[in-house]
């Protein structure tokens, strides 16, 4: 067997097409262009690339993007001031603070300061709380990207056993919340999964992963998921982005696992491009919410 590829790159292109049409309609109806402000502190090369890709994607779908570039030595108070100013600016609909922030900055305080209506990453506790209560405002980008990748490939999670490896606040935990919901905006098949969340203190990990109909890796360790950890025919989604000798590899040992899995998402070209598409979707939703 060779797994079917879950191609995030072409799907992201398709989604961006759809978003571009909705942006055009929005601009016609409101005479306002949805605008994302990206806050980039310092010169971390990976962050530079992420912000550039996000801004390019905005422009591709007809939205505006602003870059607020700040020096690495900026103080907590100064950065709070920048966020407050963006919160007040009616011309900015979405605010993205690129992580990681330098060590003198308390990231949580900064993320908490972003106005919940402009919080297109869905990191604000109000938005996280809403997700947990099943009445989301904005969907967290990477988890929603995973759901889209499954949904658009016709793969339902309802009544399936899903195992997630990773419990971070930006991937594993919100993904678990979305998958175990009673209802999903994407339809019946995209809710009601039975979810197991694993982490570094989970004993007998391979025993658990082998029970998964859908296995989602968000570990941050190159080729962590080996073929022995995967049930034959399982759906495997690789969220990992790891740099190994100048190359980007996922959390899944792609070559070995593709011989066992039924479906497998590649890295690069899997979840990554969808994360950006979901950010665009949230920015458009944020602009709409601020018109009301």
Active site residues: 54, 98, 121
Q: Under 8 Å CB-to-CB from 244, ≥6 apart: which residues?
A: 222
CA 113 to chain centre: 20
Instruction: Please identify the residue of the shown chain whose CB is closest to the bound ligand NAP.
Output: 168
| Closer of 3 and 271 to ligand NAP (Cβ) | 271
Phi-psi region of 194 (alpha: psi -120 to 50; beta: other; left: phi over 0): beta
212, 234 Cβ separation under 8 angstroms: yes
Helix residue ranges per DSSP H, 134-218: 141-151, 172-179, 205-209
Counting contacts by CB under 6 A, is residue 192 touching ligand NAP?
no
d(CA 159, CA 225): 24
Which residue of 168, 194, 196, 290 would you call a contact of ligand NAP, by CB under 6 A? 168
d(CA 167, CA 178): 13
| Closer of 56 and 199 to ligand NAP (Cβ) | 199
Kindly write out the interface string for residues 215-254 of this chain, putting x where it contacts ligand NAP by CB under 6 A and - elsewhere: ---xxxx-----------------xxxx------------
Burial of 220 (0-12, 13-18, 19+ CB in 10 A): middle
Site for ligand NAP in 54-73 (CB under 6 A): none
d(CA 118, CA 86): 9
Which residue of 166, 190, 252, 284 would you call a contact of ligand NAP, by CB under 6 A? 166
d(CA 206, CA 228): 8
d(CA 172, CA 175): 5
| Closer of 82 and 241 to ligand NAP (Cβ) | 241
Q: Determine the interface stretch with ligand NAP among 71-79, 127-135, 201-209, 278-286 (rule: CB under 6 A).
A: 201-209
Q: How many residues does the chain have?
A: 292
- Min dist. Cβ of residue 272 to ligand NAP (A): 4
Which residue of 167, 189, 196, 289 would you call a contact of ligand NAP, by CB under 6 A? 167
Which residue of 94, 172, 174, 266 would you call a contact of ligand NAP, by CB under 6 A? 172
- Radius of gyration over every alpha carbon of the chain, rounded to an integer in angstroms: 19
| Closer of 41 and 249 to ligand NAP (Cβ) | 249
| Closer of 159 and 169 to ligand NAP (Cβ) | 169
d(CA 217, CA 198): 10
Site for ligand NAP in 103-162 (CB under 6 A): 142
Counting contacts by CB under 6 A, is residue 265 touching ligand NAP?
no
Beta strands in 62-109 (DSSP E): 64-70, 94-97
| Closer of 26 and 224 to ligand NAP (Cβ) | 224
Q: Determine the interface stretch with ligand NAP among 65-73, 123-131, 166-174, 256-264 (rule: CB under 6 A).
A: 166-174
Counting contacts by CB under 6 A, is residue 170 touching ligand NAP?
yes
Residues that bind ligand NAP (CB under 6 A): 142, 165-168, 170-172, 198-202, 205, 218-221, 239-242, 271-272, 275
């Amino acid at each position: 067997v060779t797994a079917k590829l879950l191609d995030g790159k072409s799907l992201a292109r398709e989604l961006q097409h759809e978003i571009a049409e909705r942006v055009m309609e929005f601009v016609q109806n409101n005479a306002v262009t949805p605008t994302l402000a990206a806050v980039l502190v310092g010169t971390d090369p990976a962050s530079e690339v992420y912000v550039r890709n996000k801004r390019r994607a905005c422009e591709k779908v007809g939205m505006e993007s602003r870059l607020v570039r700040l020096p690495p030595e900026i103080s907590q108070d100064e950065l709070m001031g920048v966020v407050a100013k963006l919160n007040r600016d009616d011309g900015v609909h979405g605010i993205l603070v690129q992580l990681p922030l330098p060590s003198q900055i308390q990231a949580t305080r900064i993320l908490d300061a972003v106005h919940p209506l402009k919080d297109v990453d869905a990191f604000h506790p109000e938005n996280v709380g809403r997700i947990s209560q099943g009445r989301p405002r904005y969907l967290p980008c990477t988890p929603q990207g995973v759901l889209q990748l499954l949904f658009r490939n016709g793969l339902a999670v309802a009544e399936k056993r899903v195992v997630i490896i990773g419990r971070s606040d930006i991937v594993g935990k919100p993904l678990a919340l979305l998958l175990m919901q009673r209802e999903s905006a994407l339809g019946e098949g995209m809710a009601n999964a039975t979810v197991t969340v694993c982490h570094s203190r989970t004993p007998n990990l391979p025993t658990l992963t082998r029970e998964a109909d859908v296995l989602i890796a968000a570990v941050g360790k190159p080729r962590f998921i080996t073929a022995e950890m995967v049930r034959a025919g399982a759906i495997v989604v690789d969220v990992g982005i790891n740099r190994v000798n100048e190359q980007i590899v996922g959390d899944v040992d792609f070559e070995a696992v593709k011989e066992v899995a039924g479906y497998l998402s590649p890295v690069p070209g899997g979840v990554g491009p969808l994360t950006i598409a979901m950010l665009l979707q949230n920015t458009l939703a944020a602009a709409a919410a601020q018109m009301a």
